[in-house]
Structure 1
């Protein structure tokens, strides 16, 4: 009998066919060369469980459980490589040790501890396609964590500290709106997020996600239309009312400036006030910023594929 798609995936438009499910819902599996073969093979098997979930949704639960066990094993293996002996630490203690030493690419250790707790419970509450998408992302994030064990921890500490500082700087810098030049035109932005900092090379690269102000009135299609802009820069600095850098898209200088003229100050102020009165603006903002997570993941995987400063 020919296998049939699980009914739960009817809720996810990207899974209309087996091919579209593989190409849009799932992602290619990548493990760094330094990751031991036994971990790579276990990761590939886990990925196959995700593939089979197209026909039997409960395979997702098996996949996330196996992925968490794989992370536990990966931490033990990496500990032995570093110390030359087996560890007697439990999963929880290993998470704390590797987090404290800068081996885990996250600002929040509890996010990893939540995986550990999930392993000890059930994930039946993810009983729909949308919940399943979240679990699939968690599996790939675990693969990213494993790759990260073979990156330079000192660079990671510097990267995370710098990104945290940049996030605070941009929050203050953008609070009253900024002018951003894009393709020889100028736009007003209300948010700039430092998505990822690639500090492997001598000249670090900063990737930014810029959100522009937009018309809060729905268009003819009944939807709110908004715009975001991705920008990659080097040699950046904050200089008073300006953020100056080299735009890597064309190699030319770029300057993002605080709003100082009356006309644009009024335009931003009116938009800001209207946004406060807009029903469920927080939900709309969540939608606008949602791509940041995927962009961060994509950039992190590009980072892992660069062998510079990787560890044995």
Structure 2
């Protein structure tokens, strides 16, 4: 095996071993029909030509996809070797795609793969170990992806290595429906309690007055952060806002800022819009509880000012938040 192939195999294995499964990821299997154009190695004595392929893949972490790709190309001999007919290459590769970003508008990646190539020609048939490496990108339109990449494929034949440059374009078609977020667990129905023994009626207790918060107090909806890529309030978030609305209705002179935030996944342009929708959701809910709209100003900051690390799923969940700032 050549040094070039050994290096590509080692790097491919290192990438696969280094990745951990990530949350909030569409992990559906997908198929990827492609067309390609190959600039063949001079040792083939063939003309450059187009071909086609089909692959199946699956995202396994926030940064990594694994794919099984098959491709076929048929290349005419050049004039010097025309009497020898055509060269037909059928390749089967296992590829690891490392994504630098999962932005649906532009997802660049690097790829490494190993496999084999069967070569057939007049009075000749041989299967050899191969490896490839390259770079590419994906972009998504609704639930269909477009992809393109350029890769160098090294084939270790019995006589000498042959290296081809292959440009590929195709589709990424997920299989099955997009998974829905898990439904909240239902609490078990309470068991009927035994008939209570009548007790003396206690004297009425005066409820304490709601304390007025100090100016510039920050109210974070702790434990009620938003789901990934959502601007819908959870039931626990509504319960927390009910208490905030009661306080604001008790002190009708208080004005507030309502600030929306997101985690770090996606572009800042997209996240600004998402954080705006979250802040607007909170404002409209407080309005429904009687708080005047003129007392509330919405602001949105996207993925700026995180309160926890975006490197973990728990940290990203804390950053998907809305803060209410008491102004006076």
Shorter-chain TM band: under 0.3
- Write 1 or 2 for the structure with the bigger share of strand: 2
TM-score by length of 2: 0.20
TM-score by length of 1: 0.21
